[in-house]
């Protein structure tokens, strides 16, 4: 017969155990109401992965009417140990404290494979050649420069909740724990470009999509020295 003291310590131990477990991520139905499978989009849902956003083959973007982020995930387990494929689309504005009226607009697109890590984090491993990024400085001439973009991404944590009015809601957290904009499931079928390497772009390629726009060199300072040299090379060729 266990004494009340033993029972007390047993209860305390169980309590400590469960509180230490809840600090690690638990993927019970309250935190993972459905699987990641499908397409997720923030805000008004105008930013969506798939063919309408970016075309890495000819280095083009279609700008959505409003900013936002979108992710798609497949769920099959791949031969390399990844959990499946992802696609990422982002259109965001970035302020600049020293030039408050000069907002920078950034569009980014990547795809590749992802892994659900045992600590509850997610790693995105892009197909390095296919990622694309365009940066538009509102205070500079309109830029037609699109760069290759390859950014391995760690989400420290994730949750899927069921919102009573808007349905399934995916919350991703950046590597430092900061939450991204919540995204709602817009489709249970992932809306993605083909989940394979689509281009054979040389690393750090910078493309000017309209060679006649020479004034676009105003974006040069943002590309860094290597990008500038690349761009100069291209301009010289064109
Ligand atoms: C999340 O929930 C879905 C649906 O219940 C399930 O298929 C998936 O394995 C869960 N994921 C984790 C990491 O528990
Ligand atoms: C890029 O490719 C897409 C899809 O094939 C096409 O709709 C678009 O017009 C192309 N853009 C340019 C500038 O070539
Ligand atoms: C902000 O503007 C200043 C002055 O033009 C520039 O030097 C700086 O790099 C900008 N910062 C960002 C984050 O764009
Ligand atoms: C892409 O980024 C990853 C991680 O930053 C890096 O290890 C890899 O070498 C990069 N690939 C290319 C082709 O630049
Ligand atoms: C990519 O380009 C390299 C170098 O030109 C070539 O060796 C390779 O076969 C190409 N790969 C694809 C998938 O086209
Ligand atoms: C390229 O720029 C010229 C001059 O700014 C413009 O008339 C033309 O429509 C542009 N072409 C494309 C494909 O953007």
**Ligand 3 atom closest to Cα of 96?**
1
State how far the Cα of 101 lies from the Cα of 133, in Å rounded to an integer. 22
> Token pair for residue 117?
């890590």
Name the residue of 62, 208, 210, 238 to mutate for ligand 6: max ligand atoms within 8 A of Cβ. Answer: 210
Residue 136 is predicted with a pLDDT of 86
**Ligand 1 atom closest to Cα of 160?**
1
| Ligand whose nearest atom lies closest to the CA of 221 | 3
Do residues 86 and 114 make contact, with C-beta atoms less than 8 angstroms apart? yes
**Angle at CA 53, nearest 5°, toward 163 and 129?**
115
Q: Ligand 4: distance of its center to the CA of 179 in Å? A: 25
| Residue nearest atom 1 of ligand 2, based on CA coordinates | 58
Do residues 105 and 143 make contact, with C-beta atoms less than 8 angstroms apart? no
CA 100 to centroid of chain Cα atoms = 26
- DSSP letter at 102 equals -
Sort 176 into a burial class: Cβ within 10 Å, 0-12 / 13-18 / 19+.
exposed
Q: What share of the chain is helix, strand, coil (3-state, %, to 5)?
A: 20, 35, 45
Residue 145 is predicted with a pLDDT of 79
Closest CA to 238 of 143, 203, 149, 230: 230
Closest CA to 88 of 24, 131, 120, 119: 131
Name the residue of 55, 144, 146, 213 to mutate for ligand 6: max ligand atoms within 8 A of Cβ. Answer: 213
- DSSP letter at 188 equals S
**Beta-strand relationship, 84-94 and 68-73:** antiparallel
Residue 13 is predicted with a pLDDT of 41
Tell me which H or E stretch contains 21.
helix 4-23
State how far the Cα of 181 lies from the Cα of 177, in Å rounded to an integer. 13
Residue 142 is predicted with a pLDDT of 67
Give strand pairing partners of 207.
146
Name the residue of 32, 36, 117 to mutate for ligand 1: max ligand atoms within 8 A of Cβ. Answer: 32
Q: How many CA atoms lie within 13 A of 98 on its CB side?
A: 0
Residue by residue, pLDDT tens for the chain (238 residues) are 444 444 444 444 433 333 333 345 678 888 899 999 999 999 999 999 999 999 999 889 999 999 999 999 999 899 998 999 999 999 999 888 888 888 889 999 999 999 999 999 999 999 999 999 998 887 876 666 789 999 999 999 999 999 999 999 999 999 999 999 999 999 999 999 999 999 988 777 777 654 333 333 333 333 333 333 333 333 222 2
State how far the Cα of 6 lies from the Cα of 136, in Å rounded to an integer. 67
Do residues 137 and 143 make contact, with C-beta atoms less than 8 angstroms apart? yes
Q: Ligand 3: distance of its center to the CA of 141 in Å? A: 16
Residue 143 is predicted with a pLDDT of 67
The pTM assigned to this predicted structure is 0.76
């Amino acid at each position: 017969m266990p004494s009340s003291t033993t029972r007390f310590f047993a209860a305390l131990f169980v309590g400590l155990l469960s509180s230490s477990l809840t600090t690690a991520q638990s993927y019970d139905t309250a935190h993972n109401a459905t699987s990641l499978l499908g397409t997720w989009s923030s805000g008004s849902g105008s930013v969506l992965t798939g063919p309408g956003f970016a075309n890495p083959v000819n280095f083009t973007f279609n700008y959505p009417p409003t900013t936002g982020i979108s992710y798609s995930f497949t769920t099959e387990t791949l031969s390399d140990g990844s959990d499946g494929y992802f696609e990422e689309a982002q259109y965001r504005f970035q302020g600049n404290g020293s030039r408050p009226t000069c907002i920078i607009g950034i569009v980014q697109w990547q795809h590749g494979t992802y892994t659900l890590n045992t600590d509850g984090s997610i790693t995105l491993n892009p197909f390095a050649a296919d990622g694309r990024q365009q940066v538009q400085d509102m205070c500079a001439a309109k830029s037609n420069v699109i760069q290759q973009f390859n950014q391995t991404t760690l989400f420290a944590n994730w949750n899927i909740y069921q919102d009573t009015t808007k349905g399934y809601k995916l919350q991703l957290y950046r590597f430092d724990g900061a939450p991204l904009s919540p995204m709602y499931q817009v489709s249970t079928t992932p809306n993605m470009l083909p989940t394979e390497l689509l281009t054979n772009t040389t690393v750090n390629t910078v493309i000017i999509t309209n060679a006649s726009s020479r004034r676009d060199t105003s974006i040069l300072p943002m590309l860094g020295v290597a990008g500038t040299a690349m761009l100069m090379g291209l301009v010289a060729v064109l």
